[in-house]
Amino acid sequence: MSKAIDVAGLRKSYGKVTALDGLDLNVASGEVHGFLGPNGAGKTTTIRILLGLLRSDGGSARLLGGDPWTEATTLHRRLAYVPGDVTVKARAYSKGNRQKVALIAALASDVELLMLDEPTAGLDPLMEAAFRACITEERGRGRTVLLSSHILSEVEALCDRVTIIRRGRAVESGTLADLRHLTRTSISAELAAPPEGLDRLPGIHGLVVEGLRVRCEVDTDKLDGLLRILTAAGVRSLVSQPPTLEELFLRHYTGEEPARGVAQDTAGARA
């Protein structure tokens, strides 16, 4: 499959501040790719280099098969870009309305690649839902989308693959199925008999046994062992909740995983 974006070892510094420190980013043609990280991680710097607005200090960057620095004019005819804070001449427009105008223009354009940097900032929930529907349609048409976002549920709902960036480097990249093996699965079960040996099973976390009810989290590579013990006790009901993108994100930025069902705000974190 051809690559719409091919970045390898990309570097960029502003004086003593390193924005990109050997970033690798690959986006296949026709996919929706989530570019995830908090403010200061290097997402916008990467996008500005891909747009030919900044020159990198090292590494390589290819956009639609061309050099974004030397072929910017030609490449811009083949892409549409929406920043997180759109400036238009209609000063009376609210931030949300300015964002809607930019998104409508980008989606209506006949281009191969959409580069969206925090595109839903300022949109109300109704317009966010409309945006998600539009991106789903674009994926069906084979259009490539690079989606930089703080909204983890948005990325999880829309993206074929994600890249998580930290301190100017990619720390994880792949499909959500690829990445979820790195975190724990939540298990809640009601059994026919008390389970035996759960407290000695490796890879089990937060084990709670209340009579015939069991709740815990389990490392993915230990899931088989847990299920064997539960099955031996007789399973009456079982709920398995896979790890979310939010948990994977927090794993890299705080070293912790959030409590299930508890919303976490990562937008203000800085790398």
Order of all β-strands in the sheet with 213-219: 204-210, 213-219, 184-191, 235-241
The pTM of this model reads 0.73
Q: Spell out, as residue ranges, where the chain has pLDDT lower than 70.
A: 1, 85-88, 90-93, 95, 180-183, 252-271
CATH class of 184-241: alpha beta
Residue where the block lists tokens 């091919």: 6
Q: Are 27 and 65 in contact (CB under 8 A)?
A: no
Select from 3.40.50.300, 3.40.367.20, 1.10.287.3510, 3.40.50.720 the CATH code of 3-176: 3.40.50.300
Query: Domains of the chain: which residue ranges?
Result: 3-176, 184-241
Q: What are the residues facing 270 on neighbouring strands?
A: 39
Dihedral pair phi/psi, residue 106, rounded to 5°: -65, -45
Provide the pLDDT for residue 245: 72
Is there a contact between 211 and 218 (Cβ–Cβ < 8 Å)? no
Strands 144-149 and 58-63: unpaired
The pLDDT, as a whole number, for residue 269 is 33
pLDDT of residue 259: 45
Q: What is the pLDDT of residues 152-189, one digit of tens each?
A: 788 888 999 999 898 899 988 988 777 766 667 889 99
How far, CA to CA in Å, does 84 sit from each of 4, 102, 106, 115, 206? 22, 10, 13, 11, 39
